Structure 1
Amino acid sequence: MKDFDGASLAFLAWLQRSGAEISPKVKLEDLRDAQAGRGVVATQDITEYEVLFRIPRSAILSVENSILSTEIPASTFEMLGPWLSLILVMLYEYTNGPASNWAPYFSVLPTEFNTLMFWSDDELAELQASAVVNKIGKEAADEAFTEQLLPVIKEFANIFFAGDVRAKQRAGEMRDERNMSLMHKMGSLIMAYAFDVEPATPRKDVDDEGFAEEEEDEALPKGMVPLADMLNADADRNNARLFYEDSHLDMKALKTIRAGEEIFNDYGALPRSDLLRRYGYATDNYAQYDVVEIPMELVTEILTVDEERMAYLDEQEIVDTGYDITASSPFTIQESLSPELIIFVETSLLPSEEFERLKRKGKLPKPEKITSKGAETVLKIVQARIAQYATTLGQDLQANTENPQPGNVRVKECRFAMARELRIGEKHLLKQTADALAEIIARDGNSTKRQRAIDDEGDVEMGGVEKKQRA
């Protein structure tokens, strides 16, 4: 407890020496009893838009602020990109220990992680058929470290390990398991805590009409913002937000906050699968953003599509690697089921003459006009997706009632419980979809074709759809 509190006090003292301004109405608090690590709590009532704390841009742990940026060519950082550049800088500052300006900051950052990157094989197996298993990216990260990051460290070893006679040897040792794990930890810190830092002076190329090039928006520099990243996140209780100013960043209250209440940031509309992948925990507050992916391989296993139709659907940007089912309240097919999946299925089921007429007009079936036959096909796809999970929804719910509280169990059991919660959310969403499709089929009749609307020219009514953003 003493080391934990002492690190917090040393961190706050360093932050204020660095020019930060912290309102006396807030404090950094030990929330480990609530499984929340450190958090920020109001000590007095706070009004809407009141500044909770102000962090100077110079205190941000970023490429721009690290001395390493003055020692290594800018072209090297550009080659690495925002992620690997920040990992490189954080490795440099971390290995410098007490000599680093950010040493008190590193002392309050976690050293153990619950993110999927650090789960064992048997723990990952508990996720069963969740698509998040294929999005962990450990192999890709290892490849990026080996092929891009390590060569830079080796090339600039005398700078990276300045003053160390073993600099070249230490650079070679960065390939060992311990140091590769350290790189993963730095990457996990960035994933969980870093912000996309808007520059004080925009560096975007602007055309004659004053519009910035789109590519520039995709590569905002990343930075670790001390204290701002100590706020826990909550989709329902979000009451603060970070605002970017020329010389500093302000954390402001978004609503009245009463004394004793915790101050929460928000991760945005993240499904619990991404919450677990990126931050290492899952909470019911993000169940409203749950999503299940239907892989294209499964769709084409159930539905045979000829090359001509596949080419046309691809041309119309309907073909994708997978299709999402997202949570909605109240649940409806129109709100939750990917319109591209409905269009894909309905187009595939069209009689040849009807498809040719559709193709000549360059149109697509309207996703809200799903037919009984289309609903039957989608239902088969959804049922096949449900069958990919090793346990049923009922079995998971039963096991969940027998699960003890996280504070009383080991890390492995906690991870098993989080994986089960994730599975339950996905299976519940699939069940809602299957039930809704069954209702459509029952309403329209299993063997009765629904009459399609006919336009003024005698063609089947078709129409495009705006491509929905996949989670």
Structure 2
Amino acid sequence: MMWEEANAGKWAAYLASLPSKFDTPMFWNEQDLAELKGTSVVEKLGKEDAERDYREKLLPVISSRKDLFPPHLIPFHYTLERYHIHGSRILSRSFCVEPAPSDASDEPSGTTQNHDDAMDVDVPSDSQSHPAATRVHDNDGDLSVDQDDEDEEEEDIVSMVPMADMLNARYGSENAKLFYGANELRMVTTKPIKAGEQIFNTYNDLPNAELLRRYGHVDYLSLPASLTQGSPNGSAALGNPGDVVELRADLVLTAANDRIYSTAAPPAQNVSAIAAESQRRIDWWLEMGGDDVFVLEPPSESLLPEDLVSLVRLLCDDDEWRKAQDKEKPPKAKKDKVVLEVTKQALLKRQALYEGSLEDDEALMNLSSDLPLNKKHATIVRAGEKRILRAILHQLELTIEALSQKGGMSNGEGSSRGKRKGMDDDDNGGKKARR
């Protein structure tokens, strides 16, 4: 795209019609980025990685081919600024299109419809040296390419699609979708649209954190009652129904260890042993393909992700740890009192990462209609995540209280880590029998 623009190629007029200014956090200053503290947006930007790729990969190639990249054009068309602009154009406007089968017709059909995340271009960094790369947190907290996503995305073609990329998006409003045959792409309406109504091509109803990171906007719509009960401000009724909260496994590990330390006998002399054992279990979890980030959705019947419950049981219950190794399979997602209490503490730690309270954010949105755009967007993202955490914590407290009163479900005391039995068992299923 940079070459096409520099050489006034076939697509230069199309590129000239695309925006050169973006409201995405990639272009925010440090003060504005600080407003996103606690969210996962900043750590997913990949700005430093992108700029390192520009310096170490792109510039050497450009410098080595003066026949393709005349030196006098480099300061104008191949700068870091243009690199970020074109990368952001791809991130915000491209489509992931599956290669059409050899016998595909040009007629639109459900089998040739593009992905649910039609405009999602999170491709591996090997294919595109830009923060659009699909990344996950490794167990050191750094960013790394997800190999499974890499294999999956290799089959897709990242495409800029003139005209189709003009359509806006809004939660729950999709009424058109991209279809393709062997020789053409078609944006086709999926439901009746009245004259004067807007055509929306939505990408999988993403949460505001992702909408802001990728596209520079947020959704601000009516929310379900489960997220607005007890809020003192009217603005609490607005947000993105698709919002989620990401919970890192290191916070779960800290919460689990805190509980184990408090129940160890005697506590002081077991700290290093408990930490080493916890790390061993986390390593096993990751080796078995377990996630290190858990996605928390607004409260539902299940309340907590099954893999999160499974990890807490693995960390806190010696019997479950032994069974997991024997079966080479993580524990079942059984929620007992210990699981709920440890998860509650992990969520409180997650909640503490934000600046200010939910009420502060809601009051700011309710009283200040002239907020700078970046601050407004950041506040909406923060508030949406805080609402989910508050709602889940409320449900957890009610469930823990009910279990305490009932006394019928196991609270894991008999086999939890740190107890004398769990730490000193012999080869008959005890600690010494672990691999």
TM-score (norm 2): 0.70
For the residues of structure 2 that align with 1:332 and 1:91, how far apart are their CA atoms?
47
* Aligned ranges 1:67-78 → 2 under 5 Å: none
CA deviations on 1:290-313 (whole Å, 9 max, x unpaired) are: 121112222222222625533443
List runs of 5+ in structure 1 lacking aligned partners: 1-89, 161-166, 204-213, 454-471
Q: Percent sequence identity over matched residues? A: 33
* Aligned ranges 1:19-34 → 2 under 5 Å: none
Structure 1 residue 228 and structure 2 residue 193: aligned?
no
Q: 1:198 corresponds to which residue? A: 98
Q: CA deviation at 1:123?
A: 0.5
Q: 1:298 corresponds to which residue? A: 251
CA deviations on 1:383-427 (whole Å, 9 max, x unpaired) are: 11111111101111111111216xxx6xxx111011000000000
For the residues of structure 2 that align with 1:240 and 1:149, how far apart are their CA atoms?
37
For the residues of structure 1 that align with 2:173 and 2:319, how far apart are their CA atoms?
55
CA deviations on 1:152-204 (whole Å, 9 max, x unpaired) are: 222222223xxxxxx23544x479xx92111100000000011123345669x
| Cα gap change, 1:198 to 1:224, in 2 (>3 Å) | same
Structure 1 residue 151 and structure 2 residue 54: aligned?
no
Q: 1:253 aligns with which of 189, 192, 200?
A: 189
CA deviations on 1:12-56 (whole Å, 9 max, x unpaired) are: xxxxxxxxxxxxxxxxxxxxxxxxxxxxxxxxxxxxxxxxxxxxx
Q: 1:400 aligns with which of 365, 370, 391?
A: 365
Q: Partner of 1:233: helix, strand, or coil?
A: coil
For the residues of structure 2 that align with 1:143 and 1:116, how far apart are their CA atoms?
18
Q: Partner of 2:67: helix, strand, or coil?
A: helix
Q: 1:450 corresponds to which residue? A: 409
Q: 1:110 aligns with which of 1, 14, 19?
A: 19
Q: 2:300 aligns with which of 318, 332, 339?
A: 332
Contact map agreement 1:372 1:449 (CA 8 A) in 2: no
List runs of 5+ in structure 2 lacking aligned partners: 104-149, 222-238, 258-274, 413-435
Structure 1 residue 317 and structure 2 residue 220: aligned?
no
| Cα gap change, 1:128 to 1:247, in 2 (>3 Å) | same
Q: Partner of 2:186: helix, strand, or coil?
A: strand
* Aligned ranges 1:35-434 → 2 under 5 Å: 90-96=1-7, 99-160=8-69, 167-171=70-74, 173=75, 179-200=79-100, 215=151, 217-284=153-220, 287-304=240-257, 306=277, 307-318=279-290, 320-327=291-298, 331-332=299-300, 334=302, 336-350=303-317, 352-353=318-319, 355-367=321-333, 369-404=334-369, 413-434=372-393
Tell me how many residue pairs correspond in the alignment. 330
Contact map agreement 1:333 1:433 (CA 8 A) in 2: no
| Cα gap change, 1:250 to 1:355, in 2 (>3 Å) | closer
Q: 2:394 corresponds to which residue? A: 435
Q: 1:210 corresponds to which residue? A: none
For the residues of structure 2 that align with 1:387 and 1:452, how far apart are their CA atoms?
26
Where has structure 1 moved over 6 Å in runs of 4 or more? Answer: none
CA deviations on 1:113-141 (whole Å, 9 max, x unpaired) are: 10110011110101121011100111111
> Given residue 280 of structure 1, which amino acid in structure 2 is its aligned partner?
G
Contact map agreement 1:292 1:325 (CA 8 A) in 2: yes
Contact map agreement 1:231 1:263 (CA 8 A) in 2: yes
Q: CA deviation at 1:100?
A: 2.5
| Cα gap change, 1:358 to 1:104, in 2 (>3 Å) | closer
TM-score (norm 1): 0.65
Q: Partner of 1:94: helix, strand, or coil?
A: helix
Q: Partner of 1:100: helix, strand, or coil?
A: coil
Contact map agreement 2:171 2:219 (CA 8 A) in 1: no
> Given residue 373 of structure 2, which amino acid in structure 1 is its aligned partner?
C
For the residues of structure 2 that align with 1:391 and 1:202, how far apart are their CA atoms?
56
For the residues of structure 1 that align with 2:324 and 2:11, how far apart are their CA atoms?
62
Contact map agreement 2:170 2:205 (CA 8 A) in 1: no
Contact map agreement 2:347 2:393 (CA 8 A) in 1: yes
Computed over aligned residues only, the root mean square deviation of the Cα atoms, in angstroms, reads: 2.7
